[in-house]
Amino acid sequence: MTDLNAVLDMVPVGDIAKKLGIPEDVADAAVKQVLPGLVGGLAANASTSSGSAALEKALSNHTATPKSVDDIDTNDGAKIVKHVFGDNTDQVASKLADGHPAPNVTADIIKQVLPIVAPIVLSFIASQFLTPKAAPAAPAKKAATPASTGGDLGSVIGGLLSDPNTQQVVGGLLSGLLGGGK
């Protein structure tokens, strides 16, 4: 099972705080709200064959793991967010901000964090989906079996969706808004 904390570990929260000029605890809270929303949106979009194909294609462009905010193409991140949420981006940002008890996690901060975090989420999913698993040892008289991919897309995203934080955000706050980019 894939853990949302593994994605969170990839996010340079301190860099985000510095870039946005906000306290690190606010950046951390915003990232923790954004991650489940993005995962839920990606899952909604990938629930169709065309959405899944588009996501698989996008993953091939996100194989490098960004180490800092300077490594992230926020214009690309904005395109990802637009594709995931479509015309619902402002409503999603408001709902995500409303879902955090701290009043300093605003929809404006959420909207600034989304395009920073989106490429990181795709990079994580790409690392899980595109990384070959070891093939079983082939019998001596047969040709070697080629290595398979890391797993199917549904399993990778499903693992992230199974995280309780994701379920709370997706099922409660964002129900009805996800998949806006379809």
> What is the mean pLDDT of the segment spanning 136-150?
42
Tell me: the pLDDT tens digits for 97-132? 887 677 789 999 999 999 999 999 999 888 887 765
Contact of 97 with 27, CB cutoff 8 Å: no
Q: What is the pLDDT of residue 95?
A: 87
In tens, the pLDDT along 20-45 reads 999 999 999 999 989 888 988 888 88
**Alpha-carbon dihedral 118, 15, 91, 159, rounded to 10 degrees:** 40
- For residue 47, give both structure tokens: 């629930």
pLDDT of residue 178: 53
pLDDT of res. 141? 45
Largest CA distance in the chain: 66
Domain ranges of the chain: 4-132+148-173
| Model confidence band, residue 140 (pLDDT cutoffs 50, 70, 90) | very low
Q: Measured between alpha carbons, how far is 169 from 48 in angstroms, rounded to an integer?
A: 21
The Cα–Cα gap between 47 and 25 comes to: 34
> Is the model's pLDDT at 143 over the cut of 60?
no
As a dihedral over the C-alpha atoms of residue 108, residue 112, residue 115, residue 116, rounded to 10 degrees, the angle is -140
Q: What's the pLDDT score for residue 118?
A: 94
**pTM for the complete prediction?**
0.78
Per-residue confidence (pLDDT) for residue 146, from 0 to 100:
35
Other beta carbons within 10 angstroms of residue 102's beta carbon come to 12
Residues 41-90 pLDDT 10s: 888 888 788 888 888 888 888 888 888 899 999 999 999 999 888 888 99
Predicted pLDDT at 111: 96
